[in-house]
Amino acid sequence: MDTQALRERWLAAVAAAADSAALADAEARLFGPKGEVVDLVRSVTSLPKEARPAFGKAANALKQEVEAAVAARREQFAAAAMVRELDGGAFDPTEPGVRAPRGTLHPITIVQNELVDLFTSLGFQWQDGPEVESEFFNFDALNIPGDHPARESQDTFWLTDKNLLRTHTSPVQVRTLQRAVKQGFQPPLKVIVPGRVFRSETVDRTHEHTFYQMEGLVVDRAHGDSGISIANLIHTMKTCLRVVLERDVQVRLRPGFFPFVEPGFELDVNCPFCKGQGCPVCKQSGWIEILPCGMVHPNVLRAGGLDPEEFVGFAFGMGLQRVVMLRYGIDDIRQFMGGDHRFLAQFPEVSR
C-alpha cells in the first residue's frame, strides 16, 4: 500500500477545509466509524504476520500526523474567529466590566456590631444564652412573680410546661452570674448579651413577634473604691447612645418598674430629630423612650449566687430595632424581617 500517496491526499483534504464545518466533514470522512484512516489501521489484520509490526507502526504514525493536522487547522479557525470578533467591534476590551452585586449587612447587624465593638473596648465580654429558655431563668430568677402579667400566654410563646422562647435577654444575667460564681467570681463582671427574643404580639408598625435586644450587666463590690452607682449607669448609657445615634445626646431618667431592678428607670434621649422642640417622631414631647435600666435587684444577685450585701450592679436592656429605627429614620418595624431586598440594599456595604 502506498502510504505516501494516502498521506498527501489526507493532509491536502485537511488543508483544503475552508471553515470549521468543512473541517468537521473531513474529520468524519477520515476518522469516523468507516473512516479511511481507521480502515487503514484496521487492515493490519489482513497482512501476513511478519509484515504486521512494520505496517502497524507506519499506519499509527500516519494516523497521529493527520490527527495533529486536524487539531492545528481547528486552532487556526478559532484564532481567526477571535480576531474577527475583536476587529468587528463585537467585543470592546475598554468597556468597564459588569460589577458583581455585593451584599450589604442588615441594619440590625450594623448597629449590633458597633455596639459590640464599643462595649468590648470598655472591657465588656460578649455572652450568649439559649433562645429556648426555662421558666426559671426567664421569670423566677429575675424576681418576676408567678402572677405577673408578662408570663401570660398572650405575651409568651410557651413550648412545654416549663420551657418557652425567651421573651428578653435578661435571663442571661443570672446564667452569667451563676457561671461566674462557679468559676470563682472575681469582680468586676461586665457583660453584654446581644440576642434574639420572642413575644406573642400582633404584628403591626411598632410590634414584631421576633426582635433583637442587647442586655448589659455590670457587677462589682458594694464597698471600697469600686462601688457602682447610678452615675456609672448614666455615663455608660450616654456613651452607648452617642455612638449608635452618631451624635451627642442629652438623656433623662424617669422611674420605671421592672421586677429585676431596684430602682428601675426609663432612660429617655432628647429627640435627635427636632432637638427637643417637639415633632411627630417624639410625639411632640421632645423626648424618646429608649433604654430601660436600673440597679440590679438583690433577689437577682441572690439567684446568681452573690450576696447583695457585698455586691452591687446595674443592668440595661436595649431594643435594637428601636435604636436602628431612630438612627436611620425607619418608621415600620416590619421592614426588618420583611426580606424586601430594596429595603436592605439601601444600607451601606460594610466589610469587617
| Choice between 143 and 170, CB closer to ligand DAH | 170
**Number of amino acids touching ligand DAH (CB under 6 A):** 12
| Choice between 272 and 294, CB closer to ligand DAH | 294
Phi-psi region of 123 (alpha: psi -120 to 50; beta: other; left: phi over 0): left
CA atoms within 13 A on the CB side of 100: 2
For 117, list phi and psi in degrees, rounded to 5.
-60, -45
Binding mask 254-293 for ligand DAH (x = CB under 6 A): ----x--x--x---------------------------xx
Q: Identify the three-state secondary structure at position 210.
A: strand
Nearest-approach distance from CB 230 to ligand DAH, in angstroms: 12
Nearest-approach distance from CB 293 to ligand DAH, in angstroms: 5
| Choice between 222 and 315, CB closer to ligand DAH | 315
Measured between its terminal Cα atoms, the distance across the chain in Å is 75
| 315 lines the binding site for ligand DAH (CB under 6 A) | yes
| Choice between 73 and 169, CB closer to ligand DAH | 169
Q: Are 241 and 269 in contact (CB under 8 A)?
A: yes
| 212 lines the binding site for ligand DAH (CB under 6 A) | no
| 316 lines the binding site for ligand DAH (CB under 6 A) | yes
Q: Name which of residues 88 to 117 contact ligand DAH (CB under 6 A).
A: none
Nearest-approach distance from CB 179 to ligand DAH, in angstroms: 18
DSSP state for residue 264 in the 8-state scheme: E
| 236 lines the binding site for ligand DAH (CB under 6 A) | no
Other CB atoms within 10 A of residue 199 CB = 18
| 317 lines the binding site for ligand DAH (CB under 6 A) | yes
Characterize the bridge pairing of strands 311-319 and 287-296: antiparallel
CA 89 to each of CA 19, 95, 348: distance values in angstroms, whole numbers, following the listed order: 22, 11, 37
Q: Are 313 and 232 in contact (CB under 8 A)?
A: no
Q: Name which of residues 290 to 309 contact ligand DAH (CB under 6 A).
A: 292-294
Cα separation, 266 vs 254, in Å, equals 5
Characterize the bridge pairing of strands 251-255 and 261-270: antiparallel
| 170 lines the binding site for ligand DAH (CB under 6 A) | yes
| 133 lines the binding site for ligand DAH (CB under 6 A) | no
Residue ranges that bind ligand DAH, judged by CB under 6 A: 168, 170, 215, 258, 261, 264, 292-294, 315-317
